[in-house]
Amino acid sequence: MILKIILPVLLSGIFNLAFSGSMHLVKVKATNKQQRSKIANVAHLETINSKFVTAIVNDHDLKVLKKKFGSKLKIEDSFAVHQHKGKKRPGGGGDEYEFPKGDEKFHTYDEVIADLKNLAEKNKKNVKSFIIGKSIEGRDLMGVKITAGGFSKESKKPAMMLIGTHHAREHLSTEIPLMLAEYFVKKIKTDSAFKSMMENRVVYIVPLLNPDGALHDIQGKKYKMWRKNRRKNKGTDRIGVDLNRNYSYRWGQGGSSKSPGSDVYMGTKPFSEPETKAVKKFIEEHSNIKTMISFHTFSELILYPWGGTYDPVGGQEEKVFKKMATTMAKWNGYKPQQSSDLYVATGDTCDWAFAEHNIFCFTFELTPSSMWSGGFYPGAKVIDSTFKDNIKPVSYLLKYTDDVYKVLK
């Protein structure tokens, strides 16, 4: 009932009606993680409780869901969305690539790049910009590194990495790491204790890993609820790979789809995408990275490995993950849990980072808590409060980056 009333209001502000495809809000009965995992093989789940899940799915995924879960499935609503197919977008700028009215505070790709360059330019002692690779449409994937006491011993300093926006429509997940970059730089200058800690730390921040998708999502100043990158898949007009299903660890073993039309399409092989390949290369070249956060939206969760199996990671490592997640959650009020408690999903960043590089990696699902409080498009009003909520959790992770096992003492 609530859905029926709220959804049209919620969505009418988001989507225009120039028809070229549809998205559907569906509700599927599922009472445990095993049942949820079966649904997650087809679609990305948005809301989860003990009775059902909801998902916003495209036409392709709806068809598959109907086939597999017909009797358990209910379509709550359908709505038209614009799809711009395959056209390469020159640069990142222009009026067409601005956020919808009221949300201009969010950073476009050009604005992210300008801010990162500016931060490095004005703080040469403490900040350097770098490029980890190019997106599928050829945009630079830019980040900044932040330290105190110079970069000559960078490779010996324990490092934390922050990555934002694997998923195009999760724009808040660009803002938070970007604001954290500015925050850490300022803090080095104003807080001597922090500065002295940063003499033995590096922070690597890549706030926008999927610029093509993020720009597509706002093209024409209308949100499109786009999730994937903008790969033109061979032999089909279906666009995009789910970057957070494209990492190699347990790739393709659940919670992702082999079908290019799916919103959780895993790609043709692990690291088939330039965006994930760039992360892989950067991390391989920086063995000083010990901790990491991959920012996503939404649900207000702190997730830790494994996501690809119900098994826990075990040993001291599991204790560290739990202790860190529950401590960080005290500050931001999010729910800490093992990723697969929601449902199994393979090929994500954190499982790979931990399995292959022993990096203590957390997925933060940022504000809001549900679709009914804004979902992927909560509005610019949440940016500042979400940032404030996450300063302490991220600073805590940074503090223990030199030796995460210290949290057990």
> Active-site residues: which are they?
365
Six-digit token string for 311: 């098994």
For Zn ion, the closer of residues 47 and 395 by Cβ is 47
Burial letters 60-98, b for 16+ CB under 10 A, else e: bbbebbeeebeeebeeebebebbbeeeeebeebbeeebb
* CA angle (14 as vertex; 173, 81 as ends), nearest 5: 100
Q: Helix, strand, or coil here: 129?
A: strand
Q: 365 - beta bridge partners?
A: 296, 301
Strands (DSSP E) contained in 22-95 are: 22-29, 47-48, 52-58, 73-80
Euclidean distance between CA atoms 183 and 162, whole angstroms: 13
Q: How far apart are CB 244 and Zn ion at their closest, in Å?
A: 6
For Zn ion, the closer of residues 170 and 351 by Cβ is 170
- Contact partners, residue 49, CB within 8 Å, separation at least 6: none
Q: Helix, strand, or coil here: 258?
A: coil
| Pairing mode of beta strands 335-338, 301-304 | parallel
CB 81 within 8 A of CB 23: yes
- Under DSSP, the state recorded for 257 is B
For Zn ion, the closer of residues 159 and 350 by Cβ is 350
CB 292 within 8 A of CB 280: no
Does a cis peptide bond (omega within 30 degrees of 0) precede residue 298?
yes
Q: Helix, strand, or coil here: 79?
A: strand
Euclidean distance between CA atoms 276 and 270, whole angstroms: 9
**Pick from 295, 207, 306: which is nearest to 255 by CA?**
306
For Zn ion, the closer of residues 145 and 375 by Cβ is 375
* CA angle (319 as vertex; 315, 320 as ends), nearest 5: 110
* The one-letter amino acid at 319: K
Which DSSP string do the residues of 277-337 spell out, in sequence order? HHHHHHHHH-TTEEEEEEEEESS-EEEES-SSSSS---HHHHHHHHHHHHHHHHHH-PEEE
Binding site for Zn ion (CB under 5 A): 167, 170, 296
